[in-house]
Amino acid sequence: MSNINLTTKLVGEITGNFTVPSYQRGYRWQEEVKILLDDINEIPDGENYCLQPIVVKKTDDNKYELIDGQQRLTTLFLILGYIRTFRPKLQQKYTIDYEIREKSKEFLSDLDFDNINDAAQNIDEYFINEAAKTIKNWFDNTPDDDNAANLIANKLNNKVNIIWYEINGTEDAISLFTRLNIGKIPLTNAELVKAIFLSRNNGIDERYQLEISTQWDDIEKELHDEKLWYFITNKKAEDFSTRIELLFDLMADKKDGDKERYRTFFWFMEQSKSDEYAGNKIKLWEQVIETFQRLKEWYNDSELYHKIGYLIAVNKKALRDLINESSQKGKFDFKSTLNEYIANSINFNNNNNNNNNNNNNNKEYLDLSYDNKSDCPNIEKLLLLFNVESVFQNGDKSMRFPFDKHKNKKGGWSLEHIHAQQSEGLNTKALWNEWLDLHVQSLKNIDSSQNAALIEEIESRNKENLTEELFNEWFEKVIQALNLEQNIDYIHMLSNMALLGTFDNSALNNSTFDVKRDKIIEMDKNGDYIPICTRRVFLKYYTPSGENQLHFWGKADRDAYVKAMNEILKPYLSIINKQI
């Protein structure tokens, strides 16, 4: 199906005559030489080390055009050459020839490490000589250079692998080189994994390879559905050249921050050579299909979609762990386990809740404060779960919480005060004037006659000459007029917080309920995504009609809001014997 021959080889297994073509620059490694030696020397017992791909094109029997990997292969050649000064019987099984440098093969092969000639004939010889000096100095600085040579030789022969990526003789080597080196677009894990299944002579006949290729394309296409993608991951799609790589990373259990670029490929290669799959790579591909089908099953199940989607969104559980859990339990038990995970995610008294602030561990929900920045992640978690569960418990199975919109919100999400009455961030004349303009209409809405004098003062102000002192005076009067209560202790508490996209200016962030309500309605009309519970707050959905005062956010509203949280989150609060 594919004209690629892919495998991993120990350095001691590399054989052949390699030519570095004229379209490549010459050898240029400097500090990388010492780094490579250090890495090889520090390989832990029981572990292997794998270098990045050596990309070649076969030109004749045991002859190859070296498309990518010249620096690595040349450095390994030099290291082996130095080791041969201690171990003359060590075989040098490959040669390297530079197409634009006459006698370059002889120069490399005849290099005398005890008498390195500083009078280089060209720039390539200069860098090769410098690399040779680095190698000699590295061994000289070990306690026992003879023993070090033996250890490095042993690791090269038994622990250090290269990824051997051999393209067909008809492939365009220059185009591939341009992509890998000039375009700086390295081979991806997905490309290498694909070659495991679709390369020639890999034990899979062409009929099955065609089926795998079709299934591969189908999976890639489905993962381009943003709703599915952001259900299973918090990672940005643009970080993946092909989205199927996320599925492979999941199977290989690749951790965030793993510095080994080809960890996923190495895992698949090891699996393909294992006793379980060595004679039947189709079975390994079937594991890929099974894993993807499980994710699709969860995605299509409304309950699993919302529960798992929430756990992934708040980083409570890794998807790999959930897959392992589901494979060991029936569906009912698995859902019960998910409920426990969700309950524990909002059990802020639980010392295992990824919260290192012990002062937080004894707080009740209504004691959480926006003013305490260490409380904010917990408030956000509660509100997110409240939104997710409100959608799920709506009863309409066609309604689904949009994790894609939640994770892709431009500017991100913030905890927004439902009713704000502080001037934090209002520090310019433009913001003072904007804030006053926003609130004049609210003063007219509630009682224009009672607030006539204040309205007249604000509307007739000289905007250019507005001072901070005068603004603060009007600010206090406006807040008093638009506030039902003198007590403002609730301002930073859970009952006065909602999830909302970050506003672009401080004037709106510091606005009262009525001003924000108008803005929310405007956003809703424009089709902007607003979390369901935030929309309900500003439409007074939770407040009984007999206590509803449209332009204010008062105690009755806050109590109704908290009551709704308790009702929606009861399945989880009951597990941990708590209430809001």
Q: What is the DSSP string of 510-554?
A: T--HHHHHHHHHHHHHTT----HHHHHHHTT-SS-GGG--TT---
DSSP 267-287: HHHHHHHSTTTTT-HHHHHHH
272 neighbors 278 (Cβ within 8 angstroms): yes
pLDDT of residue 118: 74
48 neighbors 159 (Cβ within 8 angstroms): yes
pLDDT of residue 358: 46
- Scan for tokens 């003789």, then name that residue: 169
Bridging pattern class, strands 94-98 and 497-501: unpaired
pLDDT of residue 184: 59
- Scan for tokens 């007999």, then name that residue: 546
pTM comes to 0.77
CA separation for the pair 333, 344 (Å, rounded): 17
Ranges of residues in the chain with a pLDDT under 50 are 1, 351-352, 354-361, 505
274 has which bridge partners? Answer: none
Alpha-helical regions (H) of 369-501: 376-392, 403-407, 429-447, 452-459, 468-481
pLDDT of residue 225: 97
Nearest to 504 by CA among 430, 411, 440, 435: 411
| Residue 502: DSSP 8-state | P
413 has which bridge partners? Answer: 501
pLDDT of residue 322: 96
Q: For residue 493, what are the CA distances in angstroms to 176, 450, 501, 548, 564? A: 58, 30, 19, 21, 16
Nearest to 342 by CA among 274, 388, 302, 376: 388
406 neighbors 313 (Cβ within 8 angstroms): yes
